[in-house]
Chains A and B, each alone.
Chain A
């Protein structure tokens, strides 16, 4: 890679010129990519407009079933202990789980990309300090840190009924906590790519014509690591959905905006497995596994297509 620096090489991968949807086509040409994209498209549709499919979110007041009844014609997925329709809750859970997963991914990838690019590009003492912090987050059990951070930050910002983008403050705190605790592997990946880019000639050329460090990082390094960021973001999303589910499961979710994890927590605290009420936890459970599985498949396929280190090996 350093040898190639002597001759001019296009800083933007050739793939971009072939059209915006080229990558998607290449992705769905692989069977695992097509399968993953299909599942994700389905859940994205549910998340975007749950009302279209099952009407507004049922509450204890609007529920009209019987308590913990098994699946029937009227309630294809049964009801919970508050007589609510499980199909309704599961479809609305898609919106909460996917929205938190998406926002948490954005925060995570943003922190990881900034730390990675700055650390790799600036180098020296800045790099040493940033990588120390990154290693710290890589090695400690970040979930336990999230467990402590969530209630403390929640107490600090105050709960109340404030909403941002229609998401309650309790869940925004979860987004922030996932972001704070899961950026380290992204930073590592972006840093190593930045290091190899820094040695290439177009960076020197930009510097010679007077570009500042900030400009080079934004206009020359970032466009060249964006592919890597996208591939990584897909895997981060899978992790974010799992973390949100687990945090909700231990009681840090919001009962007023139930995610799949929150439904599972409710099922556990009612004792659904002991009562044989499988319909209470199987639907949200299957959804979580499907989404994480699909993201893992798509992430792996994208990594093969976009990661320069793995390209051509897949």
Chain B
């Protein structure tokens, strides 16, 4: 992998992250009321002296650009995202820290399930184009692709939690439960995880299957596949050794590009199941107009997506020598 390819990828990701911070910077200043009023929100009977002190303390008397922006950039990079308006005395970092793991577990596992199932389904239906799996799978994929995640979640909730009573309806652990050991706790967690995980998996599987199917169809029409057939190789071997490795390539970057949309779905799935992750946090912050927390969620999710795209670009560079220029 050439140095300039690496440098360009890293440079572009860094630039995007600075832009994200710039958007946060502008948004905070676009809030109704002057910044010092926003900072002193909830403090009764603010005197002009207090206002002036706040302006001085927060550097609001300095020029907006570059002084204030550089200070903001520095604070953001060092992890200082300010204080939550609602959770008094807690920094945005602390609030985010409490909610990050449920989201990572739910979406990490959901992505994994969807990628494995989606790619397998897509590859098989593309290979047996026009067959029963292809026809049913393709139709189903399109319908799933058109369904908002939360709707899927509500349907699963209705059938499997309310109707059949197989799984609990909300939360991550049973409220007030006392666990004899770690395994009981883990079991309860697992029971709560099934439906949200199924929702995320089903929501994503359609897109991945569609992408993989068209990719494998395209690959199977390449000359080297015809050559392999001409050499008398068995179909299964052609699929596994010749078509699949190349067909997988475009899915790498598409999965990364899709992450931005997955995040939107993530938020709503968590809301449906009351899963205590970043999505429910975002909606709580939205309802309470807790802008620092909302901006923290935006920063965290955006930077994660940018970094995931960077990783995908690098992986792609390793897998496909043609893009390393």
Contact = CB atoms under 8 A, between A and B. Distances in A.
B286 A151 contact: yes
B267 A156 contact: no
A308 interface: no
Interface in B107-163: 142-143, 145-148, 150-151, 154-155, 157-158, 161-163
A220 interface: no
A142 interface: yes
B268 interface: yes
Given A246-B264, A249-B271, A140 B16 contact: yes
B263 A143 contact: yes
A267 interface: yes
Contacts of B30: 152, 156
B217 to A, nearest CB: 12
Contacts of A296: 142, 145-146
B146 A293 contact: yes
B148 A139 contact: no
A288 B148 contact: yes
Interface in A270-306: 272-276, 278, 281-282, 285, 288-289, 292-293, 296-297
A21 B287 CA distance: 48
Contacts of A138: 257, 260
A243 B15 CA distance: 27
A268 interface: yes
Contacts of A250: 267-268, 271, 282-283, 286
A268 B151 CA distance: 10
Chain B, interface residues (CB within 8 Å), range? 35 or more
Nearest to B298: A144
Interface in B275-323: 282-283, 286-287, 289, 291, 294-295, 297-298, 301-302, 305-306, 309
A140 B302 contact: yes
Contacts of A151: 286, 289
B20 interface: yes
B31 interface: yes
Contact of A156 (B32, B155, B257, B272): B32
Contacts of B150: 246, 249, 264, 268
A282 B159 CA distance: 12
Contacts of B272: 268, 273
Contact of A148 (B27, B142, B158, B264): B27
9 closest Cβ pairs, A-B complex: A143-B264, A141-B263, A292-B146, A293-B146, A273-B157, A141-B260, A273-B158, A155-B32, A285-B151
Interface of B: 12, 15-16, 19-20, 23, 27, 30-32, 142-143, 145-148, 150-151, 154-155, 157-158, 161-163, 169-170, 257, 259-261, 263-264, 267-268, 271-272, 282-283, 286-287, 289, 291, 294-295, 297-298, 301-302, 305-306, 309
Interface of A: 132, 135-136, 138-145, 147-149, 151-152, 155-156, 238, 242-243, 245-246, 249-252, 264, 267-268, 272-276, 278, 281-282, 285, 288-289, 292-293, 296-297
